[in-house]
Amino acid sequence: MARYGERAAPAERAVSEAWWNLATTGSEEARRELVRAGMAYNEVFSDPEAFRKVRGWYAERSRIPDALLRRQVEVLHGALAACQGDRKTISRIEELEAEANALYGNHRAEVGGREVGENELREILRTSRDEELRREAWEASKSVGREAAPLVRELARLRNRLAREQGYENHYLRSLELQEIDPGELEGIMSRLEAATEAPFRELKRRLDEGLKGRFGVERVMPWHHADPFFQSCREDLAATAGEVPDVDGFFRGKDLEELTRRTYDALGLEVRDVLARSDLAERPGKLQHAFCTRIGREYPYDVRVLANVRPGAYWMETLLHEFGHAVYDKHINPGLPYFLRSYAHLATTEAVALMMGSLAEDPAWLSSVAGVPEAELDGFREYLRERERADRLVFVRWALVMYRFERALYADPDREDLNDLWWELAGRLQLLERPPGRDEPDWAAKIHIAVSPVYYHNYVLGHLIAAQLRDHLERYVTRGPFYESRSAGLYLLESLFGPGAREGWRETVERATGSPLDTGRFVGSLR
């Protein structure tokens, strides 16, 4: 096991570095290097002889008395299983994924005859009252979909081909198994959330629509009337319904968002200055317009970095707090663990920490104590800010359900001709969005996750569930007050969640860190 870790380490590091270079430059050279690094990684993990050996250990893992060794076998089996299959198919997937990453990174939409970035599109949809400009900006936000759709379909076909070689019905089901998620269990969670959120979401959407009709003087609310181009957030929309509201972006005007991030994590006793120093946070041409956190390899001291495109305002404050939630998790995994266990317990557990931290950006107590917003500016708005955060979680869940159900259908049949119709059927049923008359574009392909982070979105939902349980546990039993003001909360996270890494299954980690098994109860309760 140790020898395999030694083989894997340089390959993993090379892929991480290549992906970082592509995201920060968008260059063709970086794209080619990512393909080369990806193929070298697959050479290590696609070894059929190694897989046969580890698969045998995996089948008999219950007989391995050492729990740490047993867990290593489980994790390594998943890594090897993910890379098995026809070499030509794997090579083609690597090429297409690198091409897709470059496409999303380099694409710039056009509005009014000029190129604009995502920050500018977001600003138009947040502030403009010009109906035609809003529509043009919304359509522009989807323009990458036309180029990306053929890539996504081909990637889905190829991923399915590999999955079927291993006896799976499709890539979606294979991915869930490799993430240690039971498809039936996940469907049960999603169905319960859909049912629990149906009535409150319908009422919220009615309120939002009434406010937006008044704001824009229209009889019908169309997708471009929402501030978020996918309607995955409703903070700005809610302001249209609430009468006098605070200038939330104004809370951060003239503030150093990096300094507020550092101060937040300092209060928890979690150092992030080293991560800030290695990160790339400024907006510029050719750079990926989204945000992410990555760790370059698993060797200690850990090289953790964040990419963002920061502008002053609540959006990027939340994003920085979110991404550095991933960062503190990554950098505090116990380096004494065996190589393959130096990782977070699960995608959902790292998302839980990130979501919990990101939510602070509009928490009235955090705004006062950490961001230094005068109490007088918050007076009368505390309940509105709490409602705004609750409403945003509700809207996000309905959006995530669209992604979940669409991706399942995509991998069930990547060649179906009605994907555009399916997307709008789901958006209509789950988000209550009206399809623009005559619109027949692959708007689904404008979402980067569908192309380059497939079968991922459910982890945000699971992350929300875990975050609700984790914050409740921290503030009820550990800090007995706001968790973000206490080093005891940081120490608890270090000992119960970060440090253990992947030494046990994620369900065991969740139960130990939150005091109870994963369920939907506390999250649904937080929406009321």
Burial, 368: exposed, middle or buried (Cβ in 10 Å; 0-12, 13-18, 19+)? middle
Residue with tokens 């978020």: 228
Identify whether the C-beta of residue 334 lies closer than 8 Å to the C-beta of residue 305.
no
For residue 304, which of 334, 326, 336 has the smallest C-alpha distance?
326
Q: What is the pLDDT of residue 528?
A: 84
Q: Helix, strand or coil for residue 384? A: helix
CA distances from 364 to 248, 260, 367 (A): 11, 15, 5
Cβ atoms of 451 and 104 closer than 8 Å: yes
As given in the structure block, the two tokens for residue 77 are 């089996």
Do the beta carbons of residue 267 and residue 487 sit within 8 Å?
Answer: yes
**E-only strand ranges, 3-151:** 109-111, 114-116
Nearest Cα to 356, choosing from 296, 291, 431, 268? Answer: 268
3-state secondary structure of 295: strand
Handedness of CA 119, 122, 126, 131 (dihedral sign): positive
Under CATH, which number does the domain 183-526 receive?
1.10.1370.30
CA gap 520, 517 in Å, rounded:
10
How is residue 299 annotated by DSSP?
Answer: P
Residue extent(s) of CATH 1.10.1370.30 domains in the chain: 183-526
Beta-sheet pairing, 114-116 with 109-111: antiparallel
Q: For 301, phi and psi rounded to 5 degrees?
A: -70, 140
Question: How confident is the model over 472-517, as pLDDT tens digits?
Answer: 999 999 999 999 999 999 999 999 999 999 999 999 999 999 999 9
- 58: which 2 tokens? 């995996």
Q: Which residues contact 282 (CB under 8 A, 6 or more apart)?
A: 309, 310
pLDDT for res 518: 97
Those residues of the chain that have pLDDT short of 50 are none
Closest CA to 395 of 230, 511, 151: 230
| 260-313 pLDDT per residue, tens | 999 999 999 999 999 999 999 999 988 999 899 999 999 999 999 999 999 999
Q: Are 486 and 265 in contact (CB under 8 A)?
A: no
Cβ(461)–Cβ(404) under 8 Å?
yes
- Write out the H or E segment, with its range, that includes residue 272: none
**484/474 Cα distance (integer angstroms):** 10
Q: What totals of helices (H) and strands (E) does the chain contain, helices first? A: 24, 4
Q: pLDDT digit string (tens) for 52-98?
A: 999 999 999 999 999 999 999 999 999 999 999 999 999 999 999 99
CA dihedral over 503, 508, 510, 513, signed as positive or negative: negative
CA-based nearest residue to 407, from 152, 151, 167, 185: 152
Residues in the chain: 528
Residue 165: alpha-carbon gap to chain centroid: 29
Q: Token digits for 166?
A: 């291993």
Give residue 314's pLDDT. Answer: 94
**Peptide bond before residue 414 is cis, with ω within 30 degrees of 0:** no
Contact (CB, 8 A) for 112 and 412: no
Q: What distance in Å separates the CA atoms of residue 294 and residue 344, rounded to the nearest whole number?
A: 12
Give CA–CA dist 54/70, Å, rounded: 11
Taking alpha carbons only, the member of 306, 281, 279 closest to residue 293 is: 306
> Distance from first CA to last CA of the chain, Å, rounded?
49
Q: What is the DSSP letter of 496?
A: I
User: Backbone phi, then psi, for 327, in 5-degree steps?
Assistant: -65, -45
Place of tokens 């939907």: 520
Alpha-carbon Rg for the chain in angstroms: 23
Q: What φ, ψ does residue 113 adopt, rounded to 5°?
A: 80, 10
Indicate whether this model's pTM tops 0.85.
Answer: yes
Residues whose CB falls within 8 Å of the CB of residue 95, separated by 6 or more in sequence, listed in order: 35
pLDDT of residue 2: 85
E-assigned strand segments in 41-84: none
Amino acid at 175: S
